[in-house]
Each structure stands twice: as structure tokens, then as C-alpha cells.
Amino acid sequence: MNKNDSIKKIYSLCEHDYNFENEKELKELLAPYKEGAIGIAQLNPIVGNLEYNAKKILKYIKHAQNIGLDLVVFPELALVGYPFGDILNRYPNFADENIKWLNQIAKMTEKTAAFVGFVDFDTENKDKICSSIAILQNGVIQKIIKKSDKNASVVINNKKYLIVSGDNGLENIDRNCDVIINCCASIASENYNQFQILSLLSKKYSTPIVRVNQVGAIDNFSFDGASVVFDKNGEVQAFAKTFEEQFFIVNPDNNLGKIYQSTEMYNQCHQKDEAFSLDYEKDLERTYKTVIQGIKDYFCKNGFKRAVLGLSGGLDSTVCAVLLADALGAENVFGISMPSKITSNESKTDAQQLAQNLGINFATLPIKDIVESANTSLQGLFSNIESRWSGRYKESYTMDNIQARSRAVILWGVSNEFDSCLPIATSDKSEAYMGYATINGDMSGGFAPIADITKTKLFALARWLNKNREVKNAIPESIILKRPGAELAIDPNTGKPLCAEDALMPYEFMDEVIWRIENKKECYEDMLSSEFMYERAHKISKEQKILWLDKFYKRMNVALYKWSILPPSINVDSDISEKVEYKKPIISSKINFQSRTEEEIRANLNS
């Protein structure tokens, strides 16, 4: 085998589903590049599950030993997983335990060194803990480097490695080393933010940088991996697969290192300075993979394997069904059409057609009887209450909501009756912002796959799915063309089910407001003074724009409660750690979103 072929073979062996049976072959192939070769273990840990993580780590260390590597590196906090919330408060033995596991792993190391992220106690204050990297070799822990230690290095086989833990230690590093190892556990947006800095540093110091990152989803957090190696010229020498656990091999000394996944897509979709547009195309693959990983990891790491959801024939439940089928397998998804008297025939046939195209399980269960029982009971009760309380609404959403809640009763019933099955909340991000979802109804479930994706992006995603999935056009065109609406009430003007946009505002406008809040940090006045895409296209009046903006802010201010009880979802476009990017106090709902002049304020204070 010539040099090129042997290198290709090495790369291909690290591509997918790492095959530990080929260790002998790999060792032979690697022999010429052995000196200074590094194994990068882009790990998908289960947070808190020391046994699972330790076994994974040990497996890769043994593998690195078996193929003759000098060194194998792991992400920050690989042994415990990150983020771990208040695990250490609630399980005071947890830090001790992780050290015990580390000790045992250390005892099983041989010549190959391993850099393993774990939780150590603070040297000065035993009550405090700190993220640390342990250097394991020859059966012992050779050294422990705390996150706060600057310019900590270690020599392995005559090479000096400088170890930087996390994203904040990269400035002021000592250039006097052969390779910089950066162990991190950074969510996607934070991760890509570091790439330019890493490239500049490696060039400035003429020193290669190996960055190993965690992959996988932890509740709402999405880590996409993207471990990367910059050579001493600041060029990308290797780039891991994204959204996959991977073990791959680089040698900064002699150009061994493959770009398994292009950074281009990521650079593109993380450009936050662009104007708002409906052209989500270049971000849809990332979006898709983020949600798929989010579903897989939430289900698998929690011990669930099946999902049940209501199929309304609308966009939200449709996209959820496709994503669930791809993440869990079509056989593990049950779609249930639960028509009420308002549900159109088209909705019913669309839902059925979709299920058939996807190959998921399907059943129909009309909710007419349940809704009627509830209605009858409630009407009697309301008359009773009215005799004691004033303030009964002339028009209410009560009956609309009963339909949505009856459906959730069915879905939770299935989840309670069948093993390992979670009901799905199909709310999307636009509706969450507007509070346009029913508590204990469509926003209820064990997981909310699309709660961080806006409606206009979901339309784009639906088209992308039809084009890019193996089975083309699984989503019936009529679903994509339909105007969104909950089909819970009849519009008295048209006699047809009420459309969401009529009750709210055009989604294109709404989603641009969301985009401006999240990406541009704009306030109400900023939006008033800049031109929206929708304005350019539709020439709406200033008054119309003010009406919609006011409605948006008023609804957002009171939607907070619903955000607080939304099930776990997966962060797709939000950069934050909480369930959704919105953690201000619920009782701040009276906040004034419009700026006031000093004169207005003076007049107000004097009144």
C-alpha cells in the first residue's frame, strides 16, 4: 500500500462506527507516523453517569494503547459530562466518586498517556470544586492541572504539551511548547466563536493547537463536537465529524489529520450580522442535525425509545413526526389523528398520508365524545360560578382549549400505558413567543423538538426535508401550502377555521421581530426605525407596523408563564443555557417596552 492509500485507510477507519477489531491493521498503518501522534476522543458523555463515561474513556485509552499512540485526549469534564447543574449539591459524594473512577482508570493506563477532564476539589477550599485535567500514564495520575492553572505543561515522550482547559485560558499562553492541547466542553455557538482566535494563536506562536470538544445533547444544550486541529501556520489540519462521537488520529508533526467535516457550513450559518431573510437554506442541515441529536440523546440517555404525538395535518406536528421518525425509527413513532368537529377532511387525509409516507404507526381517534362531556359539565359549572363571580368573558378560548387538552389527555394516556414512550409537545418558537399554545394541550409533552424553531424556518425545513431525505416528498405539499392555524375555532367572517396569522400577525413579520431581539439585541424603538423585510415586500403603513409591534411585545410579556412550564426542548437558534432564552421574572410582565421621553416621565411622576 502506498503512503497515500495507507493514510486514506487510517482516515476511513476513523470515519464512522469506530471498529476496534482492526487495531492490528491500524497500528501497522500508523507506524510511520507514530511519533507525536495524538488520538482525539470526541466523547458523548451521559452527564452524571460515571460508570458509562469511565467505561467509554477507558475503551478509548486502551484502543490508543493498542494502536501505539503517545497520547489520547478527552474533552473538559469528560468523566462527569457538562453541564452538570447542581449535581454536586444534591449528591455530595459525587466529586469523591469521580475521583475514585479516575484513580481506577489511571491504574489501567500503560505507556500511552491520557488527558482526562474531571472534577477536582479546590486546593485551598475543599468545599469548592474545579474543572481539572488529569494526566494519566503508566498506571498512575502523573499530574493534575486545574482550570485556573496557567501555562501548565507536561512532557510525554520528549514532547512538551501545554494544556488549556476551556475557552478562557487561551490568552497569554506560554509559547514554549510543542503542542497546545485545548480540552473543552463548549456548545456550538461558543465553540465556533473560538476558531478564529485558535487559528491566530497557532500562527502567532508557530505551534499546533489541538482542540477536543464534547459532542451530544444534554437536555436543551447541544454540543456538536467539531473538534479541530490547527497546524502551526494557523490552518485547519483536522476537523472531526459533527454531531457524532468520534475517535480520530492526528499528528501535528507530519500532516496526518483529516478534515472529516467542513467548517464552511458552520462559518456560514453563524454569521449573525446579516439582515433577516427567509432564506434559511444554508442553516437547515445544521438545524436538522441539532434536533435529531437532541431527540436521540434525550430519549436514549433517559431510557425512552418511543414517541406518541398528535397529527393534526398542520406544519408543526408534521415536522415533528418527520424528525422523530428519523431520530427514533419510524416503527417507534405513533401518530394519532384526533379530529374534533372543526377538523377539516383535508387535515385528516393529510395526516394519514404523512404517516403512510413516513412509515410510522397511525391511528384515528375522534375526540368528539370527550369534548362534549367536558363541555356539558363545564357549561353547568359556569352558570353556577356566574351567580357568584362577575367577569365571565363574552368571548373566551375555553372551548378551543378543551379540544387541545383532550388530545393531551389521550397522548399522556398512551405514554402512561406503554413502556418507554414519551408524548411530544409540538409547539414552535413563534407560537411560544406569542403564547399561542394551550397549557396542558399542544405545549404539553415529555419533549418539545421544535420549540426553538420559528414558523418560517419550519416551512423552509419542511421543504428541505422533502428534498434531502432518502424518501423524497414525504410531507404532502398540501400541508406546506396550508396557512397555519390551530383548527380550534371557526372564524365568524369566513366560516372556516381561524388562521393564526389573522389572530396574530404575519409570521414573516413576527419571526423578524424574534430574530431582531435575539440576534441584534434591538429594542422596540430600534425596530420602529429600521425597515423590515415584510415592509419592503408589502408596503404596510407605519400604523400597521406599530399595531403589530405592540401586539408582539404585549403578548410576549404575558407569555412568560407558558415559557416557564414548557417541556425540555433543544436549543437550535438560542445561545443560552436555559430551557428557552427567556428567564426574566414572570411578574415583570408589566414592563414598559417603549422608551419614554424625559418629559413624559416628568409628567407621569407629577400625576
Work out the number of other CB atoms within 10 angstroms of the CB of residue 86: 7
Rounded to the nearest whole angstrom, what is the least distance from the CB of residue 580 to its own copies in the complex? Answer: 11
546 counts as binding its own copies under rule CB under 8 A = no
d(Cα 187, Cα 194) in Å, to the nearest integer? 11
d(Cα 372, Cα 156) in Å, to the nearest integer? 74
| Binding window for its own copies (CB under 8 A); candidates: 11-19, 166-174, 187-195, 521-529 | 521-529
Q: How big is the site for its own copies, counted in residues (CB under 8 A)?
A: 121
What residues between 207 and 226 interact with its own copies by CB under 8 A?
A: 218-219
585 counts as binding its own copies under rule CB under 8 A = yes
Of 241, 218, 217, 239, the closest CA to residue 290 belongs to 217
Rounded to the nearest whole angstrom, what is the least distance from the CB of residue 273 to its own copies in the complex? Answer: 16
Of 540, 530, 328, the closest CA to residue 447 belongs to 328
What residues between 296 and 325 interact with its own copies by CB under 8 A?
A: 297-298, 301-303, 306
d(Cα 187, Cα 210) in Å, to the nearest integer? 17
Of 513, 515, 503, the closest CA to residue 549 belongs to 513
Rounded to the nearest whole angstrom, what is the least distance from the CB of residue 264 to its own copies in the complex? Answer: 30
Write the binding mask 380 to 399 for its own copies: x where contact by CB under 8 A, - elsewhere: xxx-xx--xxxxxx--xxx-
Task: List the one residue from 94, 243, 276, 464 that touches its own copies (CB under 8 A).
Answer: 94
Three-state secondary structure readout of 587-601: HHCCCCCCCCCHHHH
Task: List the one residue from 401, 454, 466, 574 that touches its own copies (CB under 8 A).
Answer: 401
Q: For residue 276, what is the DSSP state?
A: P
Number of residues in the chain:
607
**Which of residues 180 and 486 has its CB atom nearest to its own copies in the complex?**
486
Task: List the one residue from 11, 18, 84, 121 that touches its own copies (CB under 8 A).
Answer: 84
**In this structure, what C-alpha cell is assigned to residue 401?**
382549549
| Binding window for its own copies (CB under 8 A); candidates: 142-150, 195-203, 437-445, 478-486 | 437-445
Q: For residue 231, what is the DSSP state?
A: -
595 counts as binding its own copies under rule CB under 8 A = yes
Task: List the one residue from 7, 38, 40, 47 that touches its own copies (CB under 8 A).
Answer: 47
d(Cα 291, Cα 222) in Å, to the nearest integer? 9
Rounded to the nearest whole angstrom, what is the least distance from the CB of residue 199 to its own copies in the complex? Answer: 25
d(Cα 30, Cα 6) in Å, to the nearest integer? 8
What residues between 447 and 476 interact with its own copies by CB under 8 A?
A: none
Residue pair 132/118 in contact (Cβ under 8 Å)? The answer is yes
Write the binding mask 58 to 77 for its own copies: x where contact by CB under 8 A, - elsewhere: x-------------------
Work out the number of other CB atoms within 10 angstroms of the CB of residue 47: 20
Rounded to the nearest whole angstrom, what is the least distance from the CB of residue 30 to its own copies in the complex? Answer: 26
What residues between 135 and 164 interact with its own copies by CB under 8 A?
A: none
Name the amino acid, one letter, at 42: Q
Task: List the one residue from 16, 20, 31, 51 that touches its own copies (CB under 8 A).
Answer: 51
Task: List the one residue from 420, 473, 478, 494 that touches its own copies (CB under 8 A).
Answer: 420
Residues 6+ apart with CB under 8 A from 43: 53, 56, 57, 60, 74, 75, 78, 214, 215, 245
581 counts as binding its own copies under rule CB under 8 A = yes
What residues between 242 and 301 interact with its own copies by CB under 8 A?
A: 297-298, 301
Query: Cα Rg for the chain, rounded, in angstroms?
Result: 27
DSSP-derived 3-state class of residue 468:
helix
Rounded to the nearest whole angstrom, what is the least distance from the CB of residue 598 to its own copies in the complex? Answer: 6
**Which of residues 53 and 466 has its CB atom nearest to its own copies in the complex?**
53
Tell me which residue has cell 488549556.
Answer: 164
3 counts as binding its own copies under rule CB under 8 A = no
Rounded to the nearest whole angstrom, what is the least distance from the CB of residue 259 to its own copies in the complex? Answer: 31
Name the amino acid, one letter, at 27: K
What residues between 326 and 385 interact with its own copies by CB under 8 A?
A: 334, 336, 361, 363, 365, 367, 369-370, 372-374, 376-378, 380-382, 384-385
